[in-house]
Amino acid sequence: MKAMLFKQICNLGDGIPPLELVELPDPIPAQGEILVRVSACGVCHTELDEIEGRTPPPRLPVILGHQVVGRVEANGPGAGRFQVGERVGVAWIYSTCGQCAHCLAGNENRCPDFRATGRDANGGYAEYMTVSESFAYPIPQVFNDAEAAPLLCAGAIGYRSLRLAGLQNGQKLGLTGFGASAHIVLKLARHVYPHSPVYVFSRNEKEQAFARQLGAVWAGAITDRAPQPLDRIIDTTPVWLPVVEAMRNLAPGGRLVINAIRKEESDKAALLQLDYPTHLWMEKSILSVANVSRRDVSEFLKLAAEIPIRPEYQEYDLSQANQALLELKQGKIRGAKVLRIH
């Protein structure tokens, strides 16, 4: 099979393509696994974190990609949940232990043995991949393959972020950053909380215009002050400055939810601006989002189909994965980026 293989930690800014197009043997599904013939795979900022070493894979080489849509090519021994030919999705959550206190309480996203697709196991930047049938999801018919791919991470993590935010209908919601996840959260919030205005903080005028086009009542720069204090803010950026600025924009009792696997070190000095009376006083809180659970993915796919939420996306051929990743790093974003495999 063809695959874009990640072999060595590097800095994307150095101009060296991090992934190499190679031919590999087709994987064979083990006990309880399915073989998926990949048709589309979303490109996520977490892959930049892997490539640049902020959340490095435990071993290299590895095949990246955790927003995977394809069709069941074969069932391994003991697998029978899906029929051959059925369309399925694979998300960031590849496996968990199923036995720890977190798993038993339904918080498997916190499992100490959490394994991530495309980091701890080969992912979807390839023609085929294998996964336990218990960690695959039926894809609603309303979506085409490229639309469905971003829903599996950008959508699911956005859904979890909105759930953890505890927003009540009528309260004001802020979004910092406006890429794949945030644009889906805006669409979701407008449906679930129709009386909650959404304010967007973004780094460039194109993203701000896109946000207003999708229904934001206001859009400005990361360092701008919102027209009024906000009750909840979801941060989807990879850097620290938006965290400090978001706390400044929170109303008393407000909550900031940080939707990021890692933060870059480049602007860590921004944290020195954190001032207790300005940013934290009056019972403001900060909450991080750790991975996703299967519940998040399943519930969000069902809700997204009912609404329906159709992500904006740009398509690339599998061989163009390096280009898509570089454009993501450079901030050339309108919605999501998706690799077309088959």
Angle at 323 between CA 320 and CA 324, to 5 degrees: 90
Answer yes or no: is pLDDT of 122 > 90: yes
What are the Cα distances from residue 215, in Å, to 115, 197, 227, 229, 332? 36, 9, 16, 19, 21
HSE-CB at 173 with a 13 A cutoff on CA atoms is 30
Q: Provide the pLDDT confidence category of residue 248 given band limits of 50, 70 and 90.
A: very high
CA dist., res. 305 & res. 321, Å (int) = 28
Share of the chain above pLDDT 70, in %: 100
Q: Which amino acid is at 218?
A: W
pLDDT at res. 22: 98
Asked if 155 and 304 count as a contact pair (C-beta separation under 8 A), the reply is yes
pLDDT at res. 298: 97
pLDDT at res. 166: 97
Q: Is 245 exposed, middle or buried (0-12, 13-18, 19+ CB in 10 A)?
A: buried
Which of 85-89, 112-116, 170-174, 178-182 is predicted least confidently? 178-182
pLDDT at res. 264: 81
Q: How many helices (H) and strands (E) does the chain have?
A: 9, 18
| Ordered structural domains, the chain, with CATH | 2-139+312-340 (3.90.180.10), 156-288 (3.40.50.720)
Answer yes or no: is pLDDT of 332 > 90: no
pLDDT at res. 274: 85
pLDDT at res. 314: 95
pLDDT at res. 331: 82
pLDDT at res. 78: 97
Average pLDDT, the chain: 95
For the stretch 8-41, pLDDT in tens is 999 987 778 999 999 999 999 999 999 999 999 9
Q: Can you read off the two tokens belonging to residue 227?
A: 């027209």
**Mean pLDDT confidence for 319-339:** 91
pTM higher than 0.95: no
For the stretch 147-203, pLDDT in tens is 999 999 999 999 999 999 999 999 999 999 998 899 999 999 999 999 999 999 998
